[in-house]
Structure 1
Amino acid sequence: MRQQDDIRHSRRRSGAPSAGDLGWDDGLYDDARRPPHPRSGDHDDTGEPGGPGEDSGEISGGGPKRPRRRTLRWIAIGLAVLVLVTAGGGYLYYQYLNGNLRTGERSASDSGLTAPGPNAQGDTPLNILVLGSDSRNSDANLELGGSRDSVGQKPLADVQMLLHISADRSNASMISIPRDTRVDIPECTDADTGKTYPETNGLINTTLGRGGPGCTLATWEKLTGVYIHHWVTVDFAGVVAMADAVGGVEVCVEHNVWDRPLPGAGGGSGLKLTAGTHEIKGETALQWLRTRHAFHSDIGRAKAQHMYLNSMLRKLKSQNVFTDTGRLLDLAESATKALTVSNEIGSVKDLYNVGIQFKNVPTDRVTMATMPTVQDPSNPNHLLPGEEASHVWAMLRDDVPLDGNGEKADEKGDDGKAPGAGASEGPEAQPASAIPVRVLNGTGSDGEPAVDGRAGSVTQQLQAAGFGQAATVATPQPQADTTLTYPESGGAQSRADALSVAKELRVPEDAVKASSQVQSVTLVVGDDWREGTSYEAPDAGSVPDSADPLNASDDSGTCMPVYEPYRW
């Protein structure tokens, strides 16, 4: 440990070499500085070439011997950093950082979802669940205002956000669910204790105590239909340490705010600021992220968290903090101590492989939002997923950008609707009258009741279009997304037949897949198509206003309003 401390502290002394001298990557956001050709056979854990294996630390031949560049870059996502961090200093320091990380099982339940397959370009989206724990089970957390009465109790996941990075890595989004939202929670088994918790209906923040982060992840998958690859958690003390290491983030309030106990309303974060803009860090940053009453509700708190994260992202993208050796080591050490992560990303190398996916996303392609909710009629203090929540989840499942700032992938047709499946090489489809089509009702998977007669209405539409062998299957098959499958044994001809059905209904081609489980073209009308005569995939930027979207490029001085009782 003494040797590890010497490695760290020697870099903070006056006259220490620059990051470039140490072989660190000063051009973190400049692809031109990356090695152009990774060694043959090197792959990171995501299956992409390159990664940390490019920098082995071997001694180069010719001239003075010196270490080759070593790049250990990673991301602490969500409340922790939303930033790539480059760290170096040899094998001992790498091992030291690895030793800081804590890990756990990815999932505590089988949601039945599988990881999304690659698109036509061979790319896949990446989904990471970010959790903020309210645990007081440490002296550091108690010093930050935690109640000693809660020591030993199961923690609650009071902050929950899903980070989605698009398959082409051009855009990203982060969706929050308020902690007091009531949802269906699946059966979960705690990987540490072996205890199994039965399925129930309850508040989503209780899932952390019913099998750890893996149960929270399984609950999100059940609710959204989105496969989640990893989770990351951070507690109160970790947020403070990360905020100190980052060096302060700018926030704004419309009025003087003091989030404190009031008659009839206990608690409060202690946040006290004058109206206007402030740069906050440390405990004040934690207070900002925890403030609920003064920002009116959990929904207001989520918006304040989104403002903070967007501001942090703008700051770290606008200035190259990675040439400051001392700050760089502080960031690396603070983040690895602050985080608990799922096993698949349980090392600095693995975190690098995840973090590099976020590296080149510009700020105007990053959008924060909150799941649309409605008040729970059985308890006015609780929430339920709103009607437009399914649209938000469909955008993530279909990998549709929440922002409208990118290039349009498809032009609109003359009728203003997105085109359906396009033509592809291979045999022509049979006449519509010769194609048997089975239609099933898949609505009712997103917590809403199934749409009665939905399969029948689509069947009638197909029959009217000449698909005389279209027939409704009475057995419901609830699922989030509309799918169109064809017999795998039928090969190219069956695919051509299925594409002709897709074109008639304007179903996108990526929803048409081969299956060994069907005997004829089979359409399941999912929860993403509950009405209308043609399927329309969500448009880029179509996130509903009820999700309160906030783009990371919006630095126009947006300020949080303050609930009147908490003004001073």
Structure 2
Amino acid sequence: MTLSDVQKEETPRAHRRRPKRKHRVLRWSATTLSVLILGTAGAGYLYYQHLNGNIEKGERASGDSKVRRADANAAGQTPMNILLIGSDSRNSDENVALGGSRDTRGNPPLGDVQMLIHLSADRRSAAVVSIPRDTRVDIPECKDPDTGRTYPPTNTIINESLARGGAGCTLATWQNLTGVYIDHWMTIDFAGVVSMADAIGGVEVCVKQNVWDRPLPGVPGGSGLKLTAGRKKVEGKQALQWLRTRHAWGSDPLRARAQHMYMNSMIRTLKQQNVFTDTGRLMNLAEAATKSLKVSEEIGTVKKLYDLGTQLKTVPTDRITMTTMPTVEDDQDSNHLLPDGANAEKIWTMLRDDVPFDDKGTKAEEKKPASKEQASADPAADKDEIGVLVQNATRSSTLAPVGGRAGSVAQTLVDEGFTRATADVSAVLSEERTIVRYPSAELAGDAQSVAKSLGIPLSSVKKSTDVSGVTVLVGADWRTGTAYPKESTPEAGDLPGNSDEINGSDTKQCMDVYAPYRW
């Protein structure tokens, strides 16, 4: 018998105080709740680890690109750019079954769908720009992070970039073409599209006539999409067929329009489902998304993807604008396209300057604060003591280089008193915008002095480890003359007429079916 037992025996039964039932219930409830919390937390942690384990990750950039991150606005905010790539990979039984073409199994995947999602710095608007897969562009040198193979630079259609070093090479190609810094990439294959479409529960699309995208005499292939006219909800394999259809719409840019209609409808559907407050729906989507998407390594966790999603969901649908890069027919191959010079550049300028693609914001939102152009605290040396190298970077994705530009601008600097300015005639580079680079802080004042003499804005003066001294790269925006041309800033909503924009709240969009594919 223990001391406690003795004490109990010595205490008269009538005088013992029994705990009240209420207190016993509370103690039991607290204990049970603690067990449940610990158990749920453990299960939640294991599920979180499970989702993280689903995610495939890859190197953000595997190609050569000199694009720098955008400066913050007056509130310290920066825009975010995400490259979404749809892969035609047939490296699994499921993808072969969905995509056909068994003879291409094992081939490097092509990036047949490429869209840049731009989230404004203030997170109040978003823009999406597609580049048709058959657009011929410059693809830089890329190194495949998985195999170590290095691919030389080339000029070919953009969908081949994915096969020349993975999504990181496609990202570098976009950055060099647009001058826009891209924060992240995501890729999805055929099976992933089907899985995501099923998790969402279907997305409404519309066709004006009955459509059947099938092989025709002399025109093989086809997605297999078969719908009657009107509004229909597509999911699973049928959603994939909608996104892959090209012949029935009549062109690759029109396929991009159909994809934009699907994305807008999907966003509206997700907002109606209130996914972020519905645990069951969120878990289903999380499972599908983490299995379907491969992402750049810096967003390769569930938390980071969730945080990204919460930022995207803050944008109202009527402030989302879907567009396609303006193109013209390729003069070397009528089946291919080229960026449409000034119109394409206008799109990229709006993205670089974070100008909204719509005009639905307030006047304060539409009028973006000018970039901070602060003079260096380090005084510039005398002009005749500053060494300057001038390089010709007038080649672009759509324009041939202009000969002699480095020499012409170098001579202008000499005439301005920079007697140590010289021209580098050994190579022609590619920069969409003229830029002045310097390697270290003590040369910042010198670089700004050079820029001021040429009329180049201080926002185009950048510190860079790629140069050993003050270097002027004469870009594709300065092809003639000795004074840097004054830039005109596009206004909100001032898109080129051939950008085919669609507003995210527009529910009246309906695809016109190319006559041979009606039934």
The TM-score range, normalised by the shorter chain, is 0.7 to 0.9
Partner of residue 365 from structure 1, selected from 300, 319, 336: 319
Q: Map Cα deviations across residues 181-204 of structure 1 (whole Å, 9 max, x no partner).
A: 122222222211222222222222
Q: Does 1:566 align with 2:517?
A: yes
1:144 alignment partner in structure 2: 98
Q: 1:263 to 1:499 in 2, by over 3 A?
A: closer
1:558 Cα deviation after fit:
1.2
Is the 1:242–1:334 Cα contact (8 Å) retained in structure 2?
Answer: yes
1:262 Cα deviation after fit:
0.6
2:208 alignment partner in structure 1: 254
Max Rg structure: 2
Within 2, Cα distance between the matches of 1:455 and 1:152? 46
Q: Map Cα deviations across residues 244-291 of structure 1 (whole Å, 9 max, x no partner).
A: 110111111111111111111111111111121111111111111000
Is the 2:340–2:398 Cα contact (8 Å) retained in structure 1?
Answer: no
Is the 1:172–1:401 Cα contact (8 Å) retained in structure 2?
Answer: yes
Within 2, Cα distance between the matches of 1:304 and 1:225? 27
Amino acid at match of 2:228: T
Within 2, Cα distance between the matches of 1:406 and 1:460? 46
Within 2, Cα distance between the matches of 1:538 and 1:355? 29
2:476 alignment partner in structure 1: 527
Q: Map Cα deviations across residues 204-251 of structure 1 (whole Å, 9 max, x no partner).
A: 212222222222222222222222222111111110111111011111
Q: 1:458 to 1:558 in 2, by over 3 A?
A: farther
1:325 Cα deviation after fit:
4.0
Within 1, Cα distance between the matches of 2:395 and 2:308? 34
Q: Does 1:405 align with 2:360?
A: yes
Within 2, Cα distance between the matches of 1:252 and 1:461? 59
Q: 1:411 to 1:303 in 2, by over 3 A?
A: closer
Q: Does 1:110 align with 2:64?
A: yes
Give runs of aligned pairs for residues 2-13 of structure 1, distance below 5 A: none
Partner of residue 345 from structure 2, selected from 385, 390, 405: 390
Q: TM-score w.r.t. structure 1 length?
A: 0.72
Partner of residue 176 from structure 2, selected from 219, 222, 247: 222
1:329 alignment partner in structure 2: 283
Give runs of aligned pairs for residues 480-491 of structure 1, distance below 5 A: 480-483=432-435, 489=442
Within 2, Cα distance between the matches of 1:99 and 1:402? 37
Is the 2:326–2:340 Cα contact (8 Å) retained in structure 1?
Answer: yes
Q: Could you say what secondary structure the match of 1:303 adopts?
A: helix
Give runs of aligned pairs for residues 62-81 of structure 1, distance below 5 A: 65=34, 67=37
1:554 alignment partner in structure 2: 506
2:118 alignment partner in structure 1: 164
Within 2, Cα distance between the matches of 1:355 and 1:138? 29
Amino acid at match of 1:267: G
Q: Does 1:544 align with 2:496?
A: yes
Partner of residue 303 from structure 1, selected from 257, 268, 273: 257
Q: 1:328 to 1:288 in 2, by over 3 A?
A: same
Q: TM-score w.r.t. structure 2 length?
A: 0.78
1:197 alignment partner in structure 2: 151
Q: 1:293 to 1:519 in 2, by over 3 A?
A: closer
Q: Does 1:232 align with 2:186?
A: yes
Amino acid at match of 2:396: S
Q: 1:533 to 1:446 in 2, by over 3 A?
A: same
Q: Does 1:444 align with 2:399?
A: no
Within 2, Cα distance between the matches of 1:357 and 1:91? 24
Within 1, Cα distance between the matches of 2:308 and 2:140? 28
Within 1, Cα distance between the matches of 2:479 and 2:369? 19
Within 1, Cα distance between the matches of 2:193 and 2:66? 33
1:29 alignment partner in structure 2: none
Greater mean alpha carbon deviation, residues 536-545 or residues 321-330 = 321-330
Amino acid at match of 1:565: P
Within 1, Cα distance between the matches of 2:500 and 2:56? 34
Q: Map Cα deviations across residues 374-396 of structure 1 (whole Å, 9 max, x no partner).
A: 21222211112221222222222
Between Structure 1 and Structure 2, how many residues are aligned? Answer: 474
Structure 2, unmatched stretches of 5+, are: 1-29
Q: Could you say what secondary structure the match of 2:85 adopts?
A: strand
Within 2, Cα distance between the matches of 1:374 and 1:461? 36
1:358 Cα deviation after fit:
1.6
2:17 alignment partner in structure 1: none
Partner of residue 175 from structure 1, selected from 116, 126, 129: 129
Is the 2:179–2:432 Cα contact (8 Å) retained in structure 1?
Answer: yes
Amino acid at match of 1:180: D
1:309 Cα deviation after fit:
0.2
Q: Could you say what secondary structure the match of 1:277 adopts?
A: strand
Within 2, Cα distance between the matches of 1:110 and 1:519? 21
1:498 Cα deviation after fit:
8.5
Q: Does 1:213 align with 2:167?
A: yes
1:146 Cα deviation after fit:
1.6
Q: For the aligned residues, what is the CA RMSD?
A: 4.0
Greater mean alpha carbon deviation, residues 480-489 or residues 182-191 = 480-489
Within 1, Cα distance between the matches of 2:70 and 2:231? 42
Q: Could you say what secondary structure the match of 1:286 adopts?
A: helix
Is the 1:364–1:553 Cα contact (8 Å) retained in structure 2?
Answer: yes
Within 1, Cα distance between the matches of 2:365 and 2:459? 13
Greater mean alpha carbon deviation, residues 131-140 or residues 475-484 = 475-484
Greater mean alpha carbon deviation, residues 107-116 or residues 439-448 = 439-448
Within 1, Cα distance between the matches of 2:99 and 2:400? 43
Q: 1:460 to 1:406 in 2, by over 3 A?
A: farther
1:150 Cα deviation after fit:
1.9
Q: 1:485 to 1:312 in 2, by over 3 A?
A: same
Amino acid at match of 1:302: A
Within 2, Cα distance between the matches of 1:510 and 1:219? 23
